[in-house]
Structure 1
Amino acid sequence: MKILMVSIPTLHFFRWADQLKYAGHEVFWFDITGMSAPVEKLNWVEQKVNWKLKYNYPGRIFLKKRFPKVYNFIQKFNEKNTASEFENYLNKVKPDVVHSFAIYLSCAPILEVMTKYNQKWIYSSWGSDLYYFQNKSQYLNDIKRVLPRINYLFTDCNRDYIIAKKHGFSGDFLGVFPGGGGFNLQHVKSFCLPIEKRKTILIKGFQGRSGRAITVLKAINNLQKQLQAYKIIVFGAPNEVFQFVQNSALKDWENLEVLGRINHEKVLEIMGEALVYVGNSNSDGMPNTLLEAIIMGAFPIQSNPGNATSELITHNKNGLLINNCENEVEIEALITSVLRNTDLLEEAYQFNQNNLKPNLDREVIKRKVLEKYASIGKQ
């Protein structure tokens, strides 16, 4: 089967696409940004990349950084039309199915083309793709235009299947799968410390449209004495988080380390050393870092926007759910309670390792995903 994938260049997409390697399909990738160089991780895929610019003139990057208004004006005349470029590539490839990742990124820009052709179309929802953007009128309009045209749907949580049906999807639901596929459990095994040797509290440092790491930092600010025996690591932090720490009493904590962006391997490494993991946001699907915490044995404390997280985490059983992502008092209480409850830490560890982790194995997920693609090919 010929599969034409449409996506921005991201780790989640690369990991998902990798499931199709050696599966007997011809796989093509249309980089919807049109600005990416060929990706080595996808060297087995035919890639339509770096197509956007009509002319990559000298000094373009300098102009973009120093004079963005001038740059944006020039780009109106210097960029090729996404829909036209996609249509040309679609006619060249003649795929059996097109697979788009995220509505506003990879579906809406090509909708007019997909409406023109009787072409099977898969859509994968990611994170906030439906849950957050349905509350924005411009994006909701795109959601309602796209979903009736979609033939097949993958989601990372059941919540988003319900939202999709609400806004016009009536095709075949292919199931709930992690946005980047499963995890190589054998590879990460060496990173996992026994629970009794773990003395790290790990905090996802995202702050912005959806991330609410600063609320977590406000919560631990009142727990210096209780947290003295632990190493606290904040990862993926933007400048806003670094500045918050520098302007608070946290800057004097010797056991606190704030990291910017780190690679995926490093995330898994520190997850395997963590006793507790805290992830907090106002919008998400099934967070990939939550899944990583589960497979690496860290006790998850996670926000629950739209009840997506509660599809996997039962409060006070295999983790704790944050009801209000803006409430540092609630988060402070949750962290305090779990550190006092060694029985809960142990029971959650055993439950997640025995019941959830095996289902997140890369080969298990891959086999199921390939069965779904095969079912499309038979129709």
Structure 2
Amino acid sequence: MKTIKQFLEELLRDIGVNISIDKNDIDVAKIFLNRINQYLYQSNNNEYISPFHEYWKEKHQEILNISINRNQARKIAEIFEQIFSSPSSFPQLELNTKITNTKGLSKENIANVRFYTAIQDFKINIYKDGRNPFQKYLEKPEWFEPEKIVESPNIILEFLEYLGATGSQGDKRIKWMLEASKFLLETCNGQAYNLLEICNNDLELVRKLISDERDIGFSRKKADMFIRDMLDWNIWDTDIGIEKLNVASDTNTIRVALRTGLLELDFPLLASYLDVYCYQYGLVDYKTQEGWRTVWEEWKKIPNNHCPKTPASMDYLIYKSIGKKYCKLNKRKCEECVLNQVCPPDKRNLKPPRSISIYGQTGWESGKTDAGGGGGIMS
């Protein structure tokens, strides 16, 4: 067992102060725990949980010091070029999402199904347990018809129960579905397929329309994913703004970026308990998208390359075929992974951050206390 006194003496040595603490361990523990509780959890104002969180907002970028390693980006790009130039040589890898069995579905049908499922596509797998929302359209078309949803909002709950999406932020999901339906009726005659035409075939404008300042369930990441699928499935045909689409940053794409050394850190990321305003998470999210875009930029420099027109077309390979299949959180299959040769040995255990935001569902607002002590989260 390491005592608090021993911990503090080690900490002092790490920062260049070589002294021994002239107090017994219990007295040291009392002082230390009282002061750390004050700094981390006692609020001095109404805006932040504690002085630490105010400091973390101002200094997290300097402390984390996350950078993108272009040399690693080039190495990854060279491997991706091998894969995309000869996909048959890598039968274990899937390069993009596929719809199986589209019989009986029009492009308009497919676009609406993907529009509504993309809203829900976080923290759940819409295809889990053999679900096929696209074929479900033939049985339950009203789930994907905005006018029917607005007329009978109880339809939304049926749809969410089918997807297994009622548990995680269920109230928000219901609101998003209803608002998204109103949006489709107001802007494009109820058809998500028409979004491209009303945005003059500009994909960046489509992303802006569905994600910026609208509460219909689309972040920019979900918008990029929806647009990517519309292109990969040949539902839409345009190149305008295609280069603006990013690899969607998630647990898997972040983990691969960290372990390959594409993102460089001075130390492993903090636990979410210290990042309750998601400053670390937001920074890593942004840097991950920027990092994979750097891979795409390096890839385009390779002579006679097979680089896709958009970074978003790398997403499925990174997220599904590498991240979920080989670069798992607690069970890595490095020897079988196509990126094995580029991953530095000292980075293979790095883990992505978690989002546990004060603004989210976890109730961190109650985590703070005041000079009276006590307080904190309870079950």
Q: TM-score range by the shorter chain?
A: under 0.3
Q: Which has the higher strand share?
A: 1
Report the TM-score when normalising by structure 2: 0.23
Larger Rg: 2
Which has the higher relative contact order, 1 or 2, with Cα contacts under 8 A spaced 6 or more apart?
2
Q: Which has the higher helix share?
A: 2
